[in-house]
C-alpha cells in the first residue's frame, strides 16, 4: 500500500511533497464546466433530493482566482486515507479568489475525510511552493498531514455545511522571513 503522505518524522518539505501526490491525478475534463456558476451550484445543492448526502464546502483563504479548486473525499478506513487511488470521489471547479463554496455529493451516509487543494496552474499536480491545501475539520498541519481521526466527519442524508481554511505553507514562511529581516 503506497501512502501519499510520509510519516511525520521527515522534513516538512518531504512531507508536503509526498502529501500532494494525493492530488496529482490528472484533472477530469468533464468535472470542469466552462460556464461554472457558484450561485447555481449552491442553489442546486441546497434544493436537491434530501435523501442524498451532500456537503456544501465553504473554502476560505483562496489566494487567487487562478486554476482549479480540487476537493477529494476518502472513506472511513484509516488505511485508505490519502492513499493514491483510494479516494471515494473528487470534484474540480474553476477557482474564485478569497472564498468559494463547492457542493460534493456522497455515495452514502457515513464517515469520510476530505482534502482540498487550490491547483493554481491547473496542471493536476501539487506545487507546495505556490498552492494551498486544507482538510476537513481544519486540523493543524504544522508538522505534516493530519491523521485520519483528525479529519474524519460524519455525513447524513441532506445537506451538511463545512468550512475549510486553505494553507499556503511557503507563502506564510516567506512573510515570516520578511518580518524577521526587518528586526
Q: Using one digit for the tens of pLDDT, what is the confidence trace for 96-142?
A: 999 999 999 999 999 999 999 999 988 888 787 788 889 999 998 77
Helices (H), 139-168: 148-151
Q: What order do you get walking across the sheet with 98-105 strand by strand?
A: 98-105, 53-62, 158-165
Q: What percent of the chain shows pLDDT beyond 70?
A: 72
Question: Which of the 8 DSSP states describes residue 22?
Answer: G
- The rounded mean pLDDT for the chain is 78
Tell me the mean pLDDT in the region 8-35. 39
Q: Using one digit for the tens of pLDDT, what is the confidence trace for 136-174?
A: 999 987 766 789 999 999 999 999 999 999 998 776 444
Question: CA-CA distance, 162 to 53, in Å (whole number)?
Answer: 13
Amino acid at each position: 500500500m503506497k501512502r501519499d503522505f510520509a510519516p511525520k518524522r521527515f522534513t516538512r518539505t518531504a512531507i508536503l511533497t509526498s502529501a500532494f501526490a494525493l492530488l496529482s491525478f490528472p484533472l477530469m475534463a468533464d468535472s470542469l464546466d466552462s460556464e461554472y456558476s457558484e450561485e447555481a451550484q449552491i442553489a442546486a445543492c441546497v434544493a436537491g433530493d434530501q435523501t442524498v448526502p451532500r456537503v456544501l464546502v465553504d473554502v476560505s483563504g483562496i489566494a487567487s482566482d487562478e486554476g482549479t479548486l480540487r476537493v477529494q473525499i476518502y472513506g472511513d478506513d484509516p488505511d485508505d486515507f490519502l492513499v493514491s487511488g483510494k479516494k471515494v470521489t473528487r470534484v474540480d471547479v474553476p477557482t474564485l479568489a478569497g472564498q468559494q463554496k463547492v457542493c460534493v455529493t456522497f455515495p452514502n451516509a457515513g464517515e469520510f475525510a476530505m482534502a482540498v487543494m487550490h491547483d493554481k496552474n491547473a496542471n493536476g499536480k501539487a506545487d507546495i511552493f505556490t498552492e494551498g491545501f486544507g482538510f476537513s475539520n481544519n486540523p493543524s498541519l504544522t508538522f505534516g498531514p493530519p491523521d485520519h481521526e483528525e479529519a474524519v466527519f460524519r455525513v447524513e442524508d441532506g445537506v451538511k455545511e463545512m468550512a475549510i481554511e486553505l494553507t499556503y505553507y511557503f507563502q506564510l514562511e516567506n512573510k515570516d522571513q520578511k518580518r524577521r529581516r526587518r528586526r
